[in-house]
């Protein structure tokens, strides 16, 4: 009897699966003495736990077994309707519930889009650096990457144009996080938005817009999503309840006017998990139904995160030695810090001994292009903790920079 070598048991695609440094690190950060700037976690004290409890009871009373039964793959009509209205308001384009599918977290949406578009070896164009979870999702479909340069105002249209003009073959899609990007916190400049839509249109490449952080702006300015512009090539919009309410619900959505894509997504989702949790969908739909309370809730998140951003930026300015640069994002949950001449994976090893952790930047580069960056999360720690954590981190930076120079 012949047996398969152990490595041959698994499909080839598993060879490309990289462990998420972030998920791995979350195991360490459970220790109370550790100050973590690593995870992308919202502030749990802002979850509307009491209201969610009340709503869950109301949903059981009003919907009963329907909220516990199998449901349609596309999502419950009232939630699709709310998403369509929310997006209509934000984009100025008219969306209907037929343009929307509810998914089990936008991470699932990315996986399903990978399933739809990517054959082994296909290219994806994305920001350099980009969201690690997207790279993980596309890696599983054996994607290859065209890294597109960004500056402090997001993706550079010229760099995208150049990448597409020289690509052979063209990428299957462009993936972008325009608002308060994960990992850099950067915001795509207004005039670049239409430019990017037009470039994708000219090359007829679908555009996946991951708008996870749209609502978390700190300066009162709403930024129009890329799907606001009409285009003859598909724009696929992804949004999530994770940063608006709570990630544990696993409620998110994809919207597009391209119903061929939507129909295929429905089939892909049927094969994955039939539908998103009915109970979570009813709870979220009921919560957002009270417009005034929902807006108050988002405003309190913005206010808290803005203060935490300020605490982190002033601690960095106070504590960090020369050679360290960082940004002051106008929203979201992260800022990006670069340390001249230092590999931040080495820095992490040292910093974790002082009980402070972050995500080394290399994880966010599809080709591991740069090692001197780090992502710092400010949403999940109070202001005092942030000050202590940055002090510890600066100490580690001084130690390692002294050792390497
Ligand atoms: C840009 C981006 N997209 C998607 C996700 C996944 O979110 P969800 O909880 O909706 O799966 C995250 C989570 O951090 C994110 O930062």
pLDDT in tens, 267-313: 999 999 999 999 999 999 999 998 899 999 999 999 999 999 999 99
User: How many angstroms does the Cα of residue 176 sit away from the middle of ligand 1?
Assistant: 12
Question: Which of 242, 247, 284, 331 for a ligand 1 pocket mutation test, highest count of atoms within 8 Å of Cβ?
Answer: 242
Range list of H helices, 167-277:
190-203, 259-273
Three-state DSSP state, 299: helix
Is 377's C-beta closer than 6 angstroms to any atom of ligand 1?
Answer: no
Longest dimension (CA), the chain: 69
Question: pLDDT digit string (tens) for 222-260?
Answer: 899 999 999 999 999 999 999 999 999 999 999 999 999
| Interval 72-100 mean pLDDT | 97
Portions of the chain given CATH number 3.40.640.10: 49-289
Q: Which CATH architecture has domain 49-289?
A: 3-Layer(aba) Sandwich (3.40)
The encoded tokens of residue 105 equal 């977290």
CA dist 40 and 202 (Å) reads 35
In this predicted structure, the answer to whether residue 112 has a pLDDT above a threshold of 70 is yes
Q: Is the CB of 42 under 6 A from ligand 1?
A: no
> Has this prediction a pTM greater than 0.75?
yes
**Other Cβ atoms closer than 10 A to 134:** 28
What was the pLDDT predicted at 14? 81
Mean pLDDT of the chain: 94
Residue 396 has pLDDT above 90, yes or no: yes
- Specify the domain boundaries for CATH 3.90.1150.10 within the chain: 18-47+294-404
What does the alpha-carbon distance between residue 220 and residue 239 come to, in Å, rounded to a whole number? 19
Neighbours of 51 (CB within 10 A): 16
Distance 355 CA to ligand 1 centre (A): 26
Residues paired with residue 255 on neighbouring β-strands, in sequence order: 100, 237
Find out whether the beta carbon of 106 lies less than 6 Å from any atom of ligand 1: yes
133 lines ligand 1 (CB under 6 A): yes
Q: What is the pLDDT, as a whole number, of residue 18? A: 66
Q: Which residues of 206-245 are buried (b: 16+ CB within 10 A; e: fewer)?
A: bbbbbbbbbbbbbeeeebbbbbbbebebbbbbbbbbbbbb
CB 373 within 8 A of CB 298: no
Query: Cα–Cα distance between 117 and 198 in angstroms, integer?
Result: 21
What would the CATH number be for the domain defined by 18-47+294-404? Answer: 3.90.1150.10
- Residue-wise pLDDT for 65-85, tens only, equals 999 999 999 999 999 999 999
Assess contact for 223 and 214: CB atoms under 8 A: yes
Atom 7 (ligand 1) nearest CA:
106
Name the residue with the closest Cα to ligand 1, atom 2.
212
Q: Is the CB of 40 under 6 A from ligand 1?
A: yes
């Amino acid at each position: 009897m012949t047996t398969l070598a152990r490595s041959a048991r698994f499909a080839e695609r598993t060879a490309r699966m990289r462990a998420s440094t972030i998920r791995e690190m979350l195991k360490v950060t459970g220790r109370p003495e550790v100050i973590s700037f690593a995870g992308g976690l919202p502030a749990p004290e802002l979850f509307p736990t009491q209201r969610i409890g009340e709503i869950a009871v109301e949903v059981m009373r009003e919907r009963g077994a329907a909220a516990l039964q199998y449901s349609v793959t596309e999502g419950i009509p009232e939630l699709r309707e709310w998403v369509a209205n929310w997006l209509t308001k934000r984009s100025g384009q008219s969306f209907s519930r037929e343009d929307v599918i509810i998914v089990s977290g936008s991470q699932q949406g990315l996986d399903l889009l990978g399933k739809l578009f990517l054959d082994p070896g296909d290219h994806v164009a994305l920001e350099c650096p980009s969201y690690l979870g997207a790279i993980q999702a596309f890696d599983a479909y054996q994607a290859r990457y065209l890294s597109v340069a960004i500056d402090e105002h997001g993706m550079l249209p010229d760099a995208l144009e150049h990448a597409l003009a020289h690509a052979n073959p063209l990428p299957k899609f462009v993936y972008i996080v325009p608002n308060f990007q994960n990992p850099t916190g950067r915001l795509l400049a207004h005039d670049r938005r239409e430019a990017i839509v037009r470039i994708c249109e000219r090359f007829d490449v679908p555009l996946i817009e991951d708008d996870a952080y749209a609502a978390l702006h700190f300066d009162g300015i709403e930024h129009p999503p890329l799907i606001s512009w009409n285009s003859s090539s598909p724009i696929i919009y992804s949004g999530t309840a994770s940063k608006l309410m709570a990630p544990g619900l696993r409620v998110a959505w994809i919207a597009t006017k391209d119903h061929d894509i939507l129909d295929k997504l429905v089939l892909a989702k049927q094969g994955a998990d039939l539908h998103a949790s009915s109970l979570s969908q009813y709870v979220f739909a009921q919560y957002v139904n009270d417009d005034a309370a929902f807006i108050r809730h988002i405003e309190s998140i913005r206010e808290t995160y803005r203060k935490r951003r300020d605490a982190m930026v002033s601690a960095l300015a106070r504590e960090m030695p020369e050679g360290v640069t960082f940004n002051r994002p106008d929203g979201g949950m992260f800022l990006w810090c670069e340390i001249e001449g230092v590999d931040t994976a080495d820095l992490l090893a040292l910093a974790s001994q002082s009980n402070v952790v972050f995500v080394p930047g290399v994880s966010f580069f599809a080709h591991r292009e740069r090692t001197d960056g780090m992502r710092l999360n400010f949403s999940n720690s109070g202001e005092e903790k942030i000050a202590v954590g940055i002090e510890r981190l600066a100490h580690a930076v001084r130690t390692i920079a002294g050792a390497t120079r």
